[in-house]
Structure 1
Amino acid sequence: MEEKADYPSKKKTISEWVHMYGDYLFSWAYHKTSCNETAEDLVQEVYFAAFKNYEKFEGRSSPKTWLLKILNNKIIDHYRKLSIKEAKQEDSTSQFTDSFFNSIGNWKANGLEEAWAEEEHLLDNVAFNEVMEICINDLPAKWRLAILSKFLLEKEAVAICQDLDITASNYWQVIHRAKLLLKKCLEVNWFAKQ
């Protein structure tokens, strides 16, 4: 039966690995996440996991390979958690946008209907564009990308569906709900204050 590594030895080995492979692991994590903070956090988690599971390292691969495998699992977990978080945000946002309509599917009156009809040159107004940018940035990530791709980049629906990895019917639902949220945000943060 193998003897478990003593704490000082284990600590020394992990510390050496930090110096030997830390930059490589950070570069890989940054390549996969495009975020310094996230990459740093993931690499730190790798070393915590390596320390915790040090006895499971059998030496059949190099330490670098073992650490990279741990990192790849951490990256997958990161995106899984992010996906779940975005799905929950989209669900709650969808429920919110449903409240804009009455029982037969018509817009609920809010007294701002005439304001929309009167404004012709809003996009020439710097202050309006600042509010619009805030409203766009408040959209769920996938919705924001769909809106920007469609209206700013003027991409075709097929290309946007491929970029976002969604179906055509999901795309139209995303665009519809994003426009509803933008309308509500602009009404609250622009029209109601004019």
Structure 2
Amino acid sequence: MEMIWNYKTPGIPDEFFDRIDNVPITKEDIRSIIISKLRLKEGFTALDIGCGSGSITAELILQTKGKVYAIDMDKVAIDLTEKNLTKFGILNDATIIHGLAQDVLPKLPNVDAIVIGGTTGETEQIIKLAISKLNEGGRIVVTSILIETIYNALKAMQDSELQEIDITQVTIAKAKKTSSGTMMISRNPVIIFSGTK
């Protein structure tokens, strides 16, 4: 089977992924930044909490060639993640779990990298639980577009005494053709938290 994405760089174009209206996808430019903040190595294991359409799960597998656990509470998202990983020929490298992060996390082994993209309002609890599953020296990245989540994520990361806490706000604008030329359309600003255990 021919690989859809056989480059070393992250940031697989969004159109390579199957999409469903109510299932979020982390856009390619944001995904590139998330992957770089994780400081991945080959053989790392990872956890994608709130996997949505599976775009980050796919990037994690392609970057690490390691085992990735993908969790989502939405069955439609789980099915879509499965479909996208199958499309990329990497389904066997993932364990896809339908359930709430706070129920699933205690049963999982420790990992080297964690991405949290959705927390259903239990932000602090999920981040602290996730950090407890992170190997020493491992990296965690939390993304948010909601002010409430931003506040809770900051508190949880500071309480957990992570090292190298970094907070970056990213606003991406993409070009769109109009009848009179090309204009830039801004996307939602995203806050990206990262830290080392």
If the length of structure 1 is used for normalisation, what is the TM-score?
Answer: 0.21
Larger radius of gyration: 1
Greater fraction helix = 1
If the length of structure 2 is used for normalisation, what is the TM-score?
Answer: 0.21
